[in-house]
Amino acid sequence: MDLITPGIGLVFWTAVTFLILLFILRKFAWKPILGAVSDREEGIKDALASAEKARLEMQNLQADNERILKEARVERETMLKEAREIKAKMIADAKEEAQAQASKMIEQAQTAIESEKKSAMAELKNHVAGLSVEIAEKVVRDELSNKDKQLKLVETMLGEATLN
């Protein structure tokens, strides 16, 4: 027997063995192998779909984050603007109140000065009246010490009394 040229029996039994092996593989191994390949293919498709979905979700999250950041910036600017306005209003109110208090204090000071002035004038008038009375007393005493002068003064006063 020559190894290079096989005999008919060898070819027949090789073919039968091959067909039996093919039948066994088809019956028991082919479906599980194809199922495993199919499952693997489905798993890869699912993984790719999940990855695409995750990528889209990430894009949406980034867009949401950017939107939220923009809204936060706008809100911050609004709050800062309101704070500046409140500050300006408080300063204006404080200036206005200070001006009103200063005006009130000036008015009170002027009133007090006027009152003190009137009081001083009244006191001065009283003092002058007192001095005038003292001077008149001294003059009248001097005038009345002389008898002739007394009679003349009485006559003058009586003449003036009738005139009025």
Q: What is the 3-state secondary structure (H, E, C) of the chain?
A: CCCCCCCHHHHHHHHHHHHHHHHHHHHHHHHHHHHHHHHHHHHHHHHHHHHHHHHHHHHHHHHHHHHHHHHHHHHHHHHHHHHHHHHHHHHHHHHHHHHHHHHHHHHHHHHHHHHHHHHHHHHHHHHHHHHHHHHHHHHHHHHHCCHHHHHHHHHHHHHHHHHC
Q: Which residue has the higher pLDDT, 150 or 55?
A: 55
Give the Cα separation of 122 and 129 in Å (integer): 10
At 33 the pLDDT is: 85
At 115 the pLDDT is: 93
**What's CA 7's distance to the chain center, in Å?**
103
Question: Which tokens in the block code for residue 84?
Answer: 């500046």
Q: Which pLDDT tens digit goes with each residue over 19-56?
A: 999 888 888 888 888 888 999 999 999 999 999 999 99
What does pTM read for this prediction? 0.40
Question: Which tokens in the block code for residue 149?
Answer: 């002068």
Whether the predicted pLDDT of 162 surpasses 50: yes
Residues above pLDDT 90, as percent of the chain: 56
Beta-carbon contacts of 144 under 8 Å, excluding residues fewer than 6 positions away, are 150, 153
Hey, what's the torsion of the CAs at 100, 105, 109, 114, to 10 degrees? Answer: 40
Least confident of 57-71, 75-89, 136-150: 136-150
Angle, CA 70 vertex, CA 69 and CA 74 arms, to 5°: 115
Q: Which pLDDT tens digit goes with each residue over 105-144?
A: 999 999 999 999 999 998 888 888 888 788 777 777 776 6
